[in-house]
Amino acid sequence: MVKAALYARVSTIDKGQDVAYQAEALLALAARKEYTPVIFEEQGVSGATESRPQLNDLMRRLRRGEFGVLAVWRLDRLGRSLPHLLQILHECELHGVQFISLTEGMDTTTPLGRLLFTIVGSLAEFERSLTIERVRAGMAYA
């Protein structure tokens, strides 16, 4: 059985937010796909914060080869900045870990999911190239 890291996060707990609904959906996915689930939950932690205890533990274990899949309920639960999300997705790719985002329908365990992942990665690389060009042009002008 493939071991799946399931990551759930809410930023505020005082407004009644709870990771339970995310965890339930992720556990249902794991059951459907016959994955062995390992759940990582963060409550009261902002997605803008890149260093989070449970995410850090998940990524350490991912790098050690413990997981074949990383699943999240929605991309913004994993991270709020595009560079951080891309870094995590790149780590998944480097370590042979498939990625699933339930809400967005991104699932690199399928051919269409791999295509979407490639398109997103290409767009991010394109945006980075444009940013570098703008910075260089600004510096040359200055």
Catalytic residues: 11
Distance of CA 94 to the CA centre of its chain: 14
